[in-house]
Amino acid sequence: MEIPEVKRLSAVKRDHLARLAKERKRPDGRKPDEYRPIKIERNVIKKAEGSARVKIGNTLVLAGIKLEIGEPYPDSPEEGAMTTYVELPPLASPEFEPGPPTPDAIELARVVDRGIRESDYIKLDKLCIEPGEKVWIVFIDIHVLDYDGNLFDACSLAASAALQNAIIPNERYDLGENQPLPVGSPPVSCTFVKYEDFIVIDPCLEEEEIAQARFTVALDKNGDIRAMQKGLKGSFTIDEIKNNIKRAQIQAKKIRKLLEE
Amino acid sequence: MLIKDGKRVDGRKPDELRPIKIEAGVLYRADGSCYLEWGGNKIMAAVYGPREALPRHIQDPTKALVNARYNMASFSVEERKRPGPDRRSIEISKVTSEALESVIFTELFPRTVIDISIEVLDAEAGTRCAGITAAGVALADAGIPMRDIPVACAAGKVDGTIVLDLTSEEDQEGEADLPIAIAPRTEEILLLQMDGHMSYKEFEEALELAIKGCKEIAKLQRKALLNKYKTFEVG
Amino acid sequence: MMRKIVLPGSVVGNAKGKIAGKGVFKEGDKLYSSRLGILEEKGKVVNVIPLSGVYDPNVGDTVIGVIQEVFKNAWIVDINAPYPALLNMEDAPWKMEYGETAKYLKVGDVIVALIKLVDEARNVEITMKGKPCRKIEDGIIIEVQPSKIPRIIGKNASMLNILKKYTQCWIFIGQNGRIWIKGEDEKVNLLIKAIRRIEKEAHTFGLTERIIKMLGG
């Protein structure tokens, strides 16, 4: 997340974080591979076909799943479709302004989408109603409520958890009984940021404020890579990227357990 | 038949409110916030400010600007809503801003803006009233100086009977809907809208009922704010 | 035990016998609170001490500011208020020529300053001429709710002295809700925890004892 320079970081804060980084310490005392406490609540929105509220530290996001009937894409006439949208409403941060989605919101949505799509999490081939005519379209809408760092992982986790308990609203369209949305195994996303040559997982807001580079990787249940995204204007070395993935493979297992509870 | 034997479809009496739950100060970043559940409605309201109003040319040198934004999440309604403001949200944002501004001591903070963000997360009729009620709590939580805490509630006419706090079904099938917002201490009307068909007498009855409902809800708002500070009772 | 908490619109007194102080307004023959805060009566004056709210600059306040913009003869400083403050080069502690401002203070630099002037349109000017004023180059700055600063200082600086005594940290408090801290990492973390607790429990009795206990006293 790019935060406007003015009014953000004071030289004192920058120096303090840099000093801590040299000692491999983080401003909130966490270890480099430690996540903040994660809380997942499912089925929190009645009107949605599936929903989940995820808290990572103070970051709070809400994902809602809506299903509608629509036309399939011409090159996949017997498959349903999915689309992901992220809203960054003004209430989540003093820096968020109302208006059309910013490049940050769009990048967030597309990265979350990629993780889910490339994991074949939603069984799109089971969402056909009438080949070439009618299929189910799955809308994944993520509403950020409180931004305190690491929206990539919070949004991905909320989307996965919301899809886990989603239903196909057959009854609303007189197509029979409601059924659970057919899903496979969810992706788990891990995000790192780099500042002063220190690479840490699950950045808090302060760390994002001085981050030079960001890296997100979505892994499946076997630890295979399904999606990746490098962000911000700094760079990673090849070894750093490889190392990040290895670190993610370990941490993702723990998060996957939370999803399976 | 929306009313049978004096009972409404959800079992309530004509002058009964749906269950309401209010929590103050729930968000980390916002200066003030409120999470509110009202029947099936789930609302999150947050306040930022007073803060510098930018760009400079919009500043009022004599007072703070009050800018409320009402927005519904895509998943909050049965048929997914496309993200972004529609005409209905823009109108609600406008009347909400105007209602809230009348109780805020805006002269104390010239050249600033008070931003109020109301997000409807789950909708079930009466969202604008729930939004204003949540915004009132969030404003108090943020320390914005006010004459009173604004509160809102709707009354209406259903099957010829004046009822309090309509459900979606009653709103759609009923004969009239009257949402109001008041400053509960003085009963000043801050917001009033109506659509449907009512005689003058029916309007008087509905208004009295809505005000009564507002005052009941005002008690819940105050309780929620006091509750935030009660958790550290000692001795 | 709790102090009496009032809300906007709460009745706090009779206009006949009492005077409206801070956070209180008169309507008809009664006095009302305009804020969520603690009721305080000082003789005839009724005040409401707010429990939340932005920093409202007052002349004479000591503030910790962050340079936002640099001009050839002045700086714009963020003082954690709805109003940015102006620091003229004549009010800096160094002698400089027009155009030399960036040499002394650049964007992001942190300073201790005093509020020099606040006019009716809330234009704020600060000065660095005065005893506590300086450029801050080390330690860390934390932000607390400005309304809690009086409690963090305490009556006759009692709470501040306790914090200093038990953590051996250097603590400098800005009225605008910013606190400059220097010390050993562990002690600093403990101090920050204590300050956050004071923020949360500022309105309760017995807080001093609880903080002493928390700091290992």
Can you spell out the DSSP letters for B48-111?
EEEEE-SSGGG-BTTB-EEEEEEEE-GGGSSS-PPSS--HHHHHHHHHHHHHHHTTB-GGGSTT
Please report how the helices A103-118 and A151-164 are oriented relative to each other, as an axis angle in degrees rounded to 10.
Answer: 50
**Average pLDDT value for residue range B204-224:** 98
Shared domain check, C148 and C132: no
Check pLDDT > 80 for residue A4. Answer: no
Last residue of a domain, one of C136, C159, C177: C136
Report yes or no: A67 and A138 within 8 Å, Cβ to Cβ. Answer: yes
Residues of B with Cβ-Cβ distance to C203 under 8 angstroms: 229, 232
Long-range contacts from C13-21, C-beta under 8 angstroms, 24+ separation: C13/C41, C13/C46, C17/C44, C18/C44, C18/C45, C18/C46, C19/C44, C19/C45, C19/C46, C20/C45, C20/C46, C21/C45, C21/C46, C21/C47, C21/C48
Residues of A with Cβ-Cβ distance to B74 under 8 angstroms: 64, 66, 85, 87, 139, 141, 143
Pairing outcome for strands C85-88 and C124-127: parallel
DSSP state of A239: H
Residue A213 inside a domain? The answer is yes
Residues of A with Cβ-Cβ distance to C66 under 8 angstroms: 7, 10
Check pLDDT > 70 for residue A170. Answer: yes
Task: Output the pLDDT for position B231.
Answer: 55
| Sign of the CA dihedral running A142, A146, A150, A153 | negative
Write the residue in A47, A87, A98 that is nearest to B123 by C-beta: A47
Report yes or no: C87 and C128 within 8 Å, Cβ to Cβ. Answer: yes
- Chains B, C: CB pairs < 8 Å: 92
**Average pLDDT value for residue range B54-65:** 94
Residue A224 inside a domain? The answer is yes
B31 to chain A, closest Cα gap in Å: 9
- Written as tens digits, the pLDDT of chain C (217 aa) is 457 899 999 999 999 999 999 999 999 999 999 999 999 999 999 999 999 999 999 999 999 999 999 999 999 999 999 999 999 999 999 999 999 999 999 999 999 999 999 998 899 999 999 999 999 999 999 999 999 999 999 999 999 999 999 999 999 999 999 999 999 988 998 999 999 999 988 888 889 999 999 998 7
Query: CA-CA distance, A62 to A59, in Å (whole number)?
Result: 10
Look up residue A77 and give its amino acid.
P
Enumerate residues 6+ apart whose C-beta is below 8 A from B233. Answer: C1, C2, C204
Cβ separation C54–B110 shorter than 8 A:
no
Residue A208 inside a domain? The answer is yes
Chains in contact with C, where contact requires at least 3 CB pairs less than 8 Å apart: A, B
Of A6, A10, A20, which to mutate for an interface test with C (greatest number of C Cβ within 10 Å)? A10
**Average pLDDT value for residue range A164-178:** 95
Of C32, C36, C39, C83, which to mutate for an interface test with B (greatest number of B Cβ within 10 Å)? C36
Instruction: Name the closest residue on chain C to residue B183, using Cα atoms.
Output: C9
Q: Which CATH number belongs to the domain containing residue C14 in this structure?
A: 2.40.50.100
**Residue B57: C-alpha distances to residues B52, C32, C48 (Å):** 12, 35, 34
Q: How confident is the model at residue A152 (pLDDT cuts 50, 70, 90)?
A: very high
**Average pLDDT value for residue range A62-90:** 97
Query: CA-CA distance, A162 to A169, in Å (whole number)?
Result: 15
Task: Output the pLDDT for position A141.
Answer: 98
> Residue C19's domain spans which residues?
5-50
Instruction: Name the closest residue on chain A to residue C105, using Cα atoms.
Output: A11
Chains in contact with A, where contact requires at least 3 CB pairs less than 8 Å apart: B, C
Cβ separation B49–C7 shorter than 8 A:
no
Average pLDDT, chain A: 95
Cβ separation C83–B112 shorter than 8 A:
yes
Residue C80 inside a domain? The answer is yes
Cβ separation C122–B230 shorter than 8 A:
no
Pairing outcome for strands A134-146 and A81-87: parallel
Residue B216: enclosing H or E segment and its boundaries? helix B200-228
Residue C11 inside a domain? The answer is yes
Q: What domains does chain B contain, in order, with CATH numbers?
A: 13-228 (3.30.230.70)
Enumerate residues 6+ apart whose C-beta is below 8 A from C79. Answer: C55, C57, C63, C64, C65, C85, C113, C115, C124, C126, C176
Residue C56 inside a domain? The answer is no
Cβ separation C34–B145 shorter than 8 A:
yes
What are A206-236's pLDDT values in tens digits? 999 999 999 999 999 999 999 999 999 999 9
Query: CA-CA distance, A51 to A45, in Å (whole number)?
Result: 6
Helices (H), chain A: 11-22, 103-118, 151-164, 205-210, 238-260
Residues of A with Cβ-Cβ distance to B137 under 8 angstroms: none
Residues of B with Cβ-Cβ distance to C83 under 8 angstroms: 52, 111-112
Q: Which CATH number belongs to the domain containing residue A155 in this structure?
A: 3.30.230.70
Is this prediction's pTM over 0.90? Answer: yes
Shared domain check, C155 and C100: no
Check pLDDT > 80 for residue A2. Answer: no
Strand order across the beta sheet in which A225-231 lies:
A198-201, A188-195, A213-219, A225-231
Q: How confident is the model at residue B174 (pLDDT cuts 50, 70, 90)?
A: very high
Of B104, B190, B232, which to mutate for an interface test with C (greatest number of C Cβ within 10 Å)? B232
Residue A13 inside a domain? The answer is no
What are B98-157's pLDDT values in tens digits? 999 999 999 999 999 999 999 999 999 999 999 999 999 999 999 999 999 999 999 999
> Residue A105's domain spans which residues?
31-260
Write the residue in C1, C34, C51 that is nearest to B235 by C-beta: C1
Report yes or no: B142 and B132 within 8 Å, Cβ to Cβ. Answer: no
Write the residue in A58, A85, A147 that is nearest to B74 by C-beta: A85
What is the distance of C-alpha A221 from the center of its chain? 16
Write the residue in B52, B148, B229 that is nearest to C9 by C-beta: B148
Report yes or no: C90 and C125 within 8 Å, Cβ to Cβ. Answer: no
Report yes or no: C42 and C21 within 8 Å, Cβ to Cβ. Answer: yes
The number of distinct structural domains making up chain C is 3
Helices (H), C58-135: 101-104
DSSP state of A27: T
Query: CA-CA distance, C77 to B79, in Å (whole number)?
Result: 49
Joined together, the tokens standing for residue B189 give 């009307």
A176 to chain B, closest Cα gap in Å: 18
Joined together, the tokens standing for residue A17 give 């974080």
Residue A24 inside a domain? The answer is no
Report yes or no: A143 and A44 within 8 Å, Cβ to Cβ. Answer: no
| Sign of the CA dihedral running C29, C33, C34, C40 | positive
Asked if C94 reaches chain B (Cβ–Cβ under 8 Å), the answer is: no
Residue A26 inside a domain? The answer is no
Whole-number percent of chain B with pLDDT over 70 = 98
Report yes or no: B232 and B204 within 8 Å, Cβ to Cβ. Answer: no
Q: Which of residues 135-174 of B touch A (CB under 8 A)?
A: none
Task: Output the pLDDT for position B144.
Answer: 98
Cβ separation A6–C68 shorter than 8 A:
yes
Of B28, B42, B44, B52, which to mutate for an interface test with A (greatest number of A Cβ within 10 Å)? B28
Q: Is C82 left (phi over 0), alpha (psi -120 to 50) or beta?
A: alpha
Report yes or no: A193 and A213 within 8 Å, Cβ to Cβ. Answer: yes
Query: CA-CA distance, A69 to C13, in Å (whole number)?
Result: 62
Cβ separation A10–C66 shorter than 8 A:
yes
Longest dimension (CA), chain C: 59
Residue C57 inside a domain? The answer is no
Query: CA-CA distance, C139 to C179, in Å (whole number)?
Result: 10
Asked if A30 reaches chain C (Cβ–Cβ under 8 Å), the answer is: no
Chains in contact with B, where contact requires at least 3 CB pairs less than 8 Å apart: A, C
Query: CA-CA distance, B27 to B36, in Å (whole number)?
Result: 13
Task: Output the pLDDT for position A10.
Answer: 84
The 10 Å Cβ neighbour count of residue C81 is: 25
Residue C174 inside a domain? The answer is yes
A32 to chain B, closest Cα gap in Å: 23
Residue C199: enclosing H or E segment and its boundaries? helix C185-201
Last residue of a domain, one of C80, C101, C136: C136
Of C68, C69, C140, C187, which to mutate for an interface test with A (greatest number of A Cβ within 10 Å)? C140
Asked if B122 reaches chain A (Cβ–Cβ under 8 Å), the answer is: yes
The number of distinct structural domains making up chain A is 1
Residue C27 inside a domain? The answer is yes
Q: How confident is the model at residue A17 (pLDDT cuts 50, 70, 90)?
A: very high
Q: How confident is the model at residue B233 (pLDDT cuts 50, 70, 90)?
A: very low
B110 to chain C, closest Cα gap in Å: 6
Residue A17 inside a domain? The answer is no
Shared domain check, C37 and C16: yes
Q: Is the peptide bond before B55 cis (omega within 30 degrees of 0)?
A: yes
Residue C145 inside a domain? The answer is yes
Enumerate residues 6+ apart whose C-beta is below 8 A from C66. Answer: A7, A10, C77, C78, C108, C109, C110, C111
Residues of A with Cβ-Cβ distance to C107 under 8 angstroms: 5-6
B81 to chain A, closest Cα gap in Å: 10
Residue C33 inside a domain? The answer is yes
Residues of A with Cβ-Cβ distance to B45 under 8 angstroms: 91
From B66, B27, B68, B26, select the one nearest B50 (Cα to Cα): B66
Q: Which CATH number belongs to the domain containing residue C93 in this structure?
A: 2.40.50.140
Residue A232 inside a domain? The answer is yes
Shared domain check, C164 and C183: yes
Q: Which CATH number belongs to the domain containing residue C150 in this structure?
A: 3.30.1370.10
Q: Is B147 left (phi over 0), alpha (psi -120 to 50) or beta?
A: alpha
Residues of C with Cβ-Cβ distance to B143 under 8 angstroms: 35-37, 50-54, 147
Task: Output the pLDDT for position A1.
Answer: 46
